[in-house]
Copies of this chain bind each other. A is one copy, B any other.
Amino acid sequence: MQRIDSSDNKKIKRLTSLKQKKVRLKENLFLMEGLKSVDEAISENALIDMILVSDHFMETNPEYCSRLEKTEYPLYITRDYNLEKCSNLKTPQGILAAVTIPDYTLVSILEQEKPIVILDGISDPGNLGTVIRAADAFGFGGVILLPGCTDPFSPKTVQSTMGSIIRVKCIDIDTGELDELDKNDYYIYGMDLSGTDMDDEKFSASKTAVIIGSESHGLSRDVIVKCSKLLKISMPGNAESLNASVAAGIVMHKMAVEIRGF
């Protein structure tokens, strides 16, 4: 474990600059914060660039820190306020890791032959993170982001995935690339208020994809034409729509129950 004292240290500055998307893209790194998240990154064999702990964390978690020292990961300790500078949390947890942004291809996701969820114009980081977490819970093959979605590796999104970002295959594609799904025999559902009642649909093939649009704009026109069938969640009450992550969760749950064993 190496000590970093100066807040002008290059590593501290680099970690701090990962708050910016352009730096994350350039460095190909994102931050995971908190003991649980760092622990998941380790157990999932994520490509960890470095781990930083604060003096306070070291004092309060000596056993965990000595376990960390036995790993192969570059480990640094710093003053509390330096870690706080790097942190994106209101209450920094004293430990964070810079992790390599995984480089999946659409083909590698489709080859798994598992259900996938596709998001169109989901701009809220909390909603995106929540969908990634649900995709992990239900064992989906991946989360595919069409244009207009927020960055899955932003601090807010990563935080709301509760560690799932490390397990769920998540990529950006252009709308045109949806044709790859068709070529790979995926059946594409789109969730849209003009669709038929989802309750009357029985999901069966594991090569099933569902596209969820934003709450305010729904599915884009150029996305709708790529869908084989449009479905809606019937709402007997008064609200016109559900939160996008709740709608996604409901569809994904039904897919998980009906398709099973993928």
Contact = CB atoms under 8 A, between A and B. Distances in A.
Interface residues of A, number: 38
Nearest to A257: B199
Contact of A162 (B239, B245, B248): B239
Most chain B CB within a 10 A radius of its CB, from A160, A243, A256: A243
Interface string A119-139: 000000010001001111111
A128 to B, nearest CB: 12
A249 B257 contact: no
Contacts of A249: 242-243, 246-247, 249-250
Interface string A231-251: 001111111111101111110
A5 to B, nearest CB: 34
A82 interface: no
A130 B238 CA distance: 14
A135 B243 CA distance: 12
Contacts of A139: 235-238
A137 B241 CA distance: 7
A136 B246 CA distance: 13
A249 B135 CA distance: 15
Interface of A: 126, 130, 133-140, 160, 162-164, 167, 199, 215, 233-243, 245-250, 253, 256-257, 260
Name the 10 nearest CB pairs between A and B, nearest first.
Answer: A139-B237, A246-B249, A136-B239, A137-B239, A137-B235, A130-B243, A139-B236, A250-B253, A164-B239, A137-B237
